[in-house]
Structure 1
Amino acid sequence: MGTDRPAAQIAVNRERQRTLYGAPLGDRVHRLIGILGITQARLAGALGLSPAMLSQLVSGRRIKIGDPAVLARLMLLDERCPPAGGPPAPAAVTALLDEVRTAQLQWSVPPPRSGRRVPGPHRGGPDGAAAVRSGGAAAAHGPGGGGQLPRRGHRTAAVAPRTAADALRAVAGPAQLVAAAAALDRGFPELAEVLRQAAGRPVPR
């Protein structure tokens, strides 16, 4: 009976990962390293994880990716990864991993109407979230986004979003929304589900 318990717990953990990430992390990682022809340790380096931590996530001994920035990098790599087939050229793989490793995945925060600065999450905060900088909506849709706040006195036309999901998608890309959901999941599961739905990845029921 004692030998069955760890296996049963891992099965439970993998199902929890399926709920959080759409599939067990082992399945996602094995797909990526199979397509790219790289080792799990090299993937861990690109994501900003230690090989031991990634191994625990893949095996199901650990459930969650604790750092939202790591989750955002994993989602970015999953989006940019070519479809299954022949392995891409080594130079292309290296360029893709370097892009993911150095990606600056940030939220764009709209300016407050009162003109007062609103403090945002910062590196080293309660959830270990990456720095969030104010900017245009383009900053939320991948690396290199560098939108600037409107200059004081400069007015821009505003179009009211139709739904809450529209409002969320206007200021953050899918990777950032899912990363935020992972950060909020423990304390605010209902908000986390709203964020995942806005990202186009509703929680399975």
Structure 2
Amino acid sequence: MSVAEGTVVRNRALQTEWYGEPLGDRVRRLLDRLGLSQSGLANVLGLSAPMLSQLMSGQRAKISNPAVLHRLLAVEEFAADPAFDGLTAAGVKERLREISAESAAATTGLRAATSDRVAAGRARRDRAPDGRMEDDRRVASESAARLVQALLREVASAAEIDDAAALIDERFPELAELLRVYGNGRTSEAEAHFARTIGAYLAAPSVQPPPVE
């Protein structure tokens, strides 16, 4: 195996750990579902077409811009919505235009976007069969867990996250666990943790999450 081939194998393994599966697999499903070219999706995400190609091929491992990851998750949620099949081409284009204008640079923006998606998920649940309700909740939970993971890993290295968790472990063990699970754990562990702690809010329309100061 050449050095370049080894790098691709390593990067795809990292993508599976960080994002649940290689980005090439996730993006190709979106391209088929949306009927977009790579360059068209790159424009929606706010990436250059060559950069998206490198992420898909495993030449690059990480989506370094949180806003790009935010848009990718938004596009995935849009494509998974049961109402997608009933949209016109113009409707799809307009929603993608809206997503392309979204930003995850500010914490307040992230909170607002999360609230909007929870509300949208509840609205879909009200009109969808039971099986689709469960799928919607699962997709929303997994997407949110991956977003938290990406944000932590963007601002700190694995060693820094471990050090921070060790500093607060004695007084704030639950917070230390959160740092370790989302900062250095596997994506499946983060998704399971999110489902245990926040999943109830997605499942029950009468239950409201605690207010954000």
Which band: TM-score by shorter chain? 0.5 to 0.7
Match of 2:191 in 1: 200
Quote how far apart the aligned CAs of 1:9 are. 1.9
What letter is aligned with 2:27? V
Pick aligned residue for 1:19 from 17, 21, 35: 17
Structure 1 residues 33 and 104, CA gap change in structure 2 (3 angstroms): same
In structure 2, the partner of 1:182 is 153
- Give the partner amino acid of 1:193: V
Structure with a larger share of its residues in helix: 2
Which of residues 112, 121, 126 is equivalent to 1:139?
112
For residue 143 of structure 1, report the CA deviation from its aligned partner.
5.9
Residue pair 2:27, 2:56 contacting (<8 A) in 1 also: yes
Task: Say if 2:19 and 2:146, in contact at 8 Å, map to a contact too.
Answer: no
User: Structure 2 regions of 5+ residues with no counterpart?
Assistant: 119-143, 163-178, 194-213
| Unaligned 5+ runs, structure 1 | 106-129, 146-172
Shift of 1:132: 3.0
Structure 1 partner of 2:54? 56
Match of 1:94 in 2: 93
Q: Which has the larger radius of gyration?
A: 1
What SS does structure 2 have at the residue aligned with 1:141? helix
Which SS does the other structure have where 2:107 is aligned?
coil
8 Å Cα contact 1:35-1:83 kept in structure 2: no
Maintained 8 Å contact 2:45/2:100 = yes
The count of aligned residue pairs is 147
| Post-superposition offset of 1:77 | 1.0
TM-score, length basis structure 1: 0.59
Instruction: Give identity over the alignment, percent.
Output: 35
Residue type of the alignment partner of 2:191: G
